[in-house]
Amino acid sequence: MAAGVPSEEKVMSTTAAFRFDEKTAQQLNMIYQTDDIKEMQRQFRVWFDPRPGEKILDVGCGTGVNDLALSKLVGPSGNIVGIDNSEAMLAIAKAKASAENIEYQLKAAEEMDFPDDRFDGVVCTQLLGYVADPVSVIRSMLRVVKSTGRVFISETDWDTLMYNIPDKALQRRVTMSFSDHQGDGWTGRRLYALCLQAGGKILELHPYVIHNAEYSARKYGGPLSYVIRDYLLRTKQLADSEVQRWLKLLSDAFDEKTYFFGLNRVVCILRK
């Protein structure tokens, strides 16, 4: 088996089959509004460097927060196309992140049917872990970007999820139980190899660490903990009492000034 490719046992459902429901869309929209994610997206845009007049494709655009920011940078002569397979996500995008130069389409990443060399740039954040064949999706992104353009991909390594609480064993169970929550939790560490296997030429490679010491709705670790809670309760990987105890330990840690949250992401910028 080629290095960096998940085994057949690890392959999850494709984005064409997986849909984010309305509750999940609202939870993710709250996460996108946190200080940490706004700062991360600002840094991502510096690395991606969108320019006036460019035509950009956002693969897995979600609620459109990034597209609205990109639309201002490419200006009225530029254009943003955002695709996502979730009607719930796109409903939020159209309601809260619309602009004259943004077009949203209901389309899965595996269904990209744009002409070759159509876009100056392609962005794809937090999507490849949800698809059965990430190399094929990367190849599609390389196909639709111009030879002078670039593809920006960011993925999380969910095994690096850290909350500082006194019960180390419980936190390890939470991290490992959530890591593959709806896809491959190791996509972040595999991203470099996946991009090479797709035939891309790596221009830049960046690690990015989301971190904070505040357990609140303003910081990423706060609302994420409730997404984790809902997942653990739904899948019954932990007992209800364990999940509730975990949340209390998070709150107690913040009160005692010992709370810390961290999570690693990996960015690859490539060209065909």
What CATH number corresponds to the domain at position 203? 3.40.50.150
Model pLDDT, residue 20? 64
What is the model's pTM? 0.88
Do the domain assignments include residue 219?
Answer: no
pLDDT digits (tens, 9 = 90+) for 199-228: 999 999 999 999 999 999 999 999 999 999
Do the domain assignments include residue 61?
Answer: yes
Model pLDDT, residue 30? 81
Model pLDDT, residue 28? 75
pLDDT averages per 10-residue partition of the chain, 272 residues: 36 40 73 90 96 98 93 97 93 94 96 97 95 96 97 97 98 97 92 97 97 96 94 94 98 98 98 94
Model pLDDT, residue 19? 46
Do the domain assignments include residue 154?
Answer: yes
Using an 8 Å Cβ cutoff, are 119 and 151 in contact? no
- The rounded mean pLDDT for the chain is 91
Cα–Cα dist 42/45, whole Å: 5
Count Cα neighbours of 23 within 13 Å in the Cβ-side half-sphere.
4
Structural domain harbouring 87:
22-158+181-213+263-271
Number of domains in the chain: 1
Do the domain assignments include residue 208?
Answer: yes
Using an 8 Å Cβ cutoff, are 116 and 140 in contact? no
Do the domain assignments include residue 123?
Answer: yes
Do the domain assignments include residue 139?
Answer: yes
Using H for helix, E for strand and C for coil, what is the string for 12-56?
CCCCCCCCCCHHHHHHHHHHHCCHHHHHHHHHHHHHHCCCCCCEE
Phi-psi region of 202 (alpha: psi -120 to 50; beta: other; left: phi over 0): beta
Do the domain assignments include residue 194?
Answer: yes
Model pLDDT, residue 11? 34
Do the domain assignments include residue 7?
Answer: no
Token representation of residue 23: 């509750």
Transcribe the chain into DSSP letters: --TTPPPTTT----TTT----HHHHHHHHHHHTSHHHHHHHHHHHHHH---TT-EEEEET-TTSHHHHHHHHHH-TT-EEEEEES-HHHHHHHHHHS--TTEEEEE--GGG--PPTT-EEEEEEES-GGGSS-HHHHHHHHHHHEEEEEEEEEEEEEEEEEEE--S-HHHHHHHHHHHHTSSS-TTHHHHHHHHHHHTT-EEEEEEEEEEEES--STTSTHHHHHHHHHHHHHHHTSS-HHHHHHHHHHHHHHHHTT---EEEEEEEEEEE-
